[in-house]
Amino acid sequence: MTETNCGEPTPETCLRVAREAAALATAADDLALSAACRSTSRTQAHRDEVMHAVHREAVEAEGHAARAEQYAADPSMPDSALRYCASGAVDYAVRAQEAAGVEATAAALRTELERKLTPAEHAERESERRRAEAEQEAEERAATGMDADNRHLARMNAYLAESAVPLLGWTAGHVRVLEAAETGRLYQRDGQVRQAAERGTWSGGRKISRERTQDLHAAGFLVVVDAADGARVLAATPMGQVALDLARLHPEGLYESDKAAYEARYARVAKRHKRMDDKKDAARRLPALEHRVSSYRRPVTLVEQEACAAREATDQWEDEGGYCPGVETPAPAAEPRVEDAPAAAAEPAAAPVTAGPSLPTGMYFLPLPSTRYSDWWAIRCGRCTGGMYTELPGEWNDKSDAARAAHDHYEAAHRPADDMLATEEIAELDRWPLSDAQRTVLSWTEYAEVAEFDDGFWALDCVPDRWDVNKRIARTRVTGLWAAGLLDVHLEANGRRRFLMSPTGKRVHRLLWRAERQGVIEPVTKDAKLPPVPTRSGGYPLMSEGRYFKGEERRADDPVPTEPAPASLAVVPATAPVPTTPPTRTDQTLPRRLFAPRSAREQRPADVARSVIRRPQRILTPEERERVRDMPLLNLQGALIMGITDPVPNASPMPEDAGAWVREHAWPAHWKAMEERYPFGFHRWSMCERGTCWNCLNGSHDICVHRQKGGPSVDGNREWVANHQGRTVAEYIPRPGGELCVWWCRCECPKGGPAPARPAAKKKPAPAGPLAAPEPAPVQAAATVRAPEAEAVQAALW
């Protein structure tokens, strides 16, 4: 037998307990047997059932006791075997006594097997446990070179690699390309990819597969950096480094050949596309690893941790002053004696424990791909957009900086909504008892478009979960909100009036939203009659009545209302023209002189975007027309709407081959995929380079798009800058001076004035008559090919 630890029963105790338990079980069995012998016909069945149940438990208890005898005689058996037999015998004895209906005295034997440890025994056992854990930790650290946290991280990475590596569709050749890029010696020159013998010498070296390198670069695993002598160095991106680490952790997920990898990628993308060419193109491209990057964390070894700690200690020593040669280090000042200081100061103060950075409610950290010595974080907010998480702009390598940015965002965007309404704000809400319909109109002006047309007021695209849903708004509701100062009118270049919330409207809308969240106000069904502001007490000038705002240009198709001619035919002598500006009198009050109507020359000039700009029209060749017709129907419809079926490029300082290189190597993959769907490209065209509208291409010049709009399509003068991962990082304005970039349909049809005649309907073919013999065609003389006339127009595409 092995040596018994402290707190555990001895083998003699276990053997004695097993024998006593078997004896108690046998006594219960005998009692049940004697009861069955004395049973009557009425109780015989029940007592027989009890007798058999007690006998089964007693047999098991005797069996455990017999095995305990055998284990005690065998020196090779451990003490745990005896304890197991003794506890089993006690359990079966208790069950036998309970089945027999007698007192379970065998339960008292368990206390002998579970002796309570003394404090010294507890301390000895805890020391032994800690010593074993320390030895195991030392062995694992010597084997892996990492601590417990990083070993757990390595196991999680291995589990992640098992599912991520097969989805990459790589072979061992792709791993070799990335390993060469990791060394910093992979370069491209003269169409060949090589691995240089040493870094900085971009000539010669081992050849690398160009096709695999191009595939990895197109998928975003490699990035190109220009070097000296016309060479281009290929380096691994953060996503490529993560993919390489995962492939090293699970090499079994790599495919044996390029053919097997292609077939695996084809099987995954076959259900996403309908056309066979699209399936093959998608299978040739390597999938990205965007959704797996955030789950990977590179473990750090103990050697790297020590090197990082030494470097940080050196940097901190230098930042705090450090040692300067030739300068004597000042001695520290003498500390005051304890007896001279007060008693309270003599006690050491407790060191504060710094807690980790916390975030406001509804915001959390988003881990990003980490570098060798630092982790990167982003912040997501779940309160900016309902039901969705919005990522705040910026990335931080310090959680405290990220938390500070999150609190700044909370203070600016969400703190006013969480604070309870003050008494002054509640009193201000009592002045705006808006109904639910009026609040809806205010909210439409924020995320939809509320505009005025000849037939009334409309909210355009006002349903978030459905496309192109427009709703008509009551006239009194909009004009009442405008007169109260909650809405402002924005006069657009095409003559449309668009309603936006004024500063007062934004404040009222925010207060109503906060009050509704806090349950301060109740919904109102009837529209409130709001008092108008003094500057808008004259009423709203409706377009349906031919009225315009001061300085607003009258449309060409809206004639000026004329006064009816007098009934008398008497000649009225001509009078002097009435001056446009009334004379200013000295006795006039100052407000009257300040707010007097301005003269005609002081009125706001007409918007320059309303003037028609004629640009040359592109005539498609037969080959280009075939390319346009071969487009998928959905892309053709989009190209017709955007006017890029016949675009005309502007003069550019960049040559075409340089632009092709930028599109091939600098544009992201999703841009290039979109560019290939259109015959002349998609992202390369600006607003002023677009061609003819779809109605004029069909010959319907009377319904030209820009004739119906009353003006051109104007560019928003805003673009976005994205990083290598496709994330938007900045916004820039292409034309800081505010110059307009407009698209006028390039057709020669008039964009204003009387509408041209509609095209005649196509005549139906005459019914087929009896077949007649065809007349012989006359022989024509050979004619020369004529150049297209200058007045040639674009033919219809269908």
* Structure confidence at residue 319 (pLDDT): 53
Reported as a single tens digit per residue, the pLDDT across 683-715 is 888 889 999 998 898 888 888 998 888 888 888
In whole angstroms, give the CA distance from residue 395 to residue 376.
7
* Structure confidence at residue 28 (pLDDT): 92
Q: Which residues contact 359 (CB under 8 A, 6 or more apart)?
A: 365, 379, 403, 406, 407
* Structure confidence at residue 261 (pLDDT): 92
The residue behind tokens 């936006």 is 500
* Structure confidence at residue 325 (pLDDT): 53
Q: Which amino acid is at 26?
A: T
Q: What is the side-by-side order of every strand in the sheet holding 487-491?
A: 471-473, 456-460, 449-453, 497-501, 487-491
Q: Which amino acid is at 712?
A: P
In whole angstroms, give the CA distance from residue 283 to residue 255.
15
User: What topology is assigned to 423-545 in CATH?
Assistant: Arc Repressor Mutant, subunit A (1.10.10)
* Structure confidence at residue 318 (pLDDT): 53
Q: Which residues contact 22 (CB under 8 A, 6 or more apart)?
A: 58, 61, 62, 64, 65, 89, 93
Taking residue 180's Cβ as centre, other Cβ atoms within 10 Å add up to 22
* Structure confidence at residue 354 (pLDDT): 43
Specify the pairing of strand 497-501 against strand 487-491: antiparallel
pTM attached to this predicted model? 0.34
729 three-class SS:
strand
Q: Are 55 and 32 in contact (CB under 8 A)?
A: yes
Ranges in the chain, pLDDT < 70: 1-7, 115-117, 290-294, 315-356, 372-373, 386-388, 417, 553, 555-610, 724-726, 760-798
Residue 182 dihedral angles phi and psi, to the nearest 5°: -65, -30
Closest CA to 481 of 549, 530, 548, 522: 530
Reported as a single tens digit per residue, the pLDDT across 51-66 is 999 999 999 999 999 9
* Structure confidence at residue 570 (pLDDT): 34
In whole angstroms, give the CA distance from residue 177 to residue 280.
24
In whole angstroms, give the CA distance from residue 520 to residue 501.
23
Distances in Å between the Cα of 304 and the Cα atoms of 218, 310, 367, 372, 544 are 33, 10, 21, 9, 77
* Structure confidence at residue 314 (pLDDT): 74
All structural domains of the chain with their residue ranges: 11-114, 148-293, 371-418, 423-545, 622-649+656-743
* Structure confidence at residue 321 (pLDDT): 53
415 three-class SS:
helix
701 by Cβ neighbours in 10 Å (0-12 / 13-18 / 19+) ranks as buried
Rounded to 5 degrees, what angle do the CA atoms 363, 367, 370 make?
155
* Structure confidence at residue 735 (pLDDT): 83
Encoded tokens for 99: 């089945």
* Four-point Cα dihedral 719, 720, 721, 726, nearest 10: -140
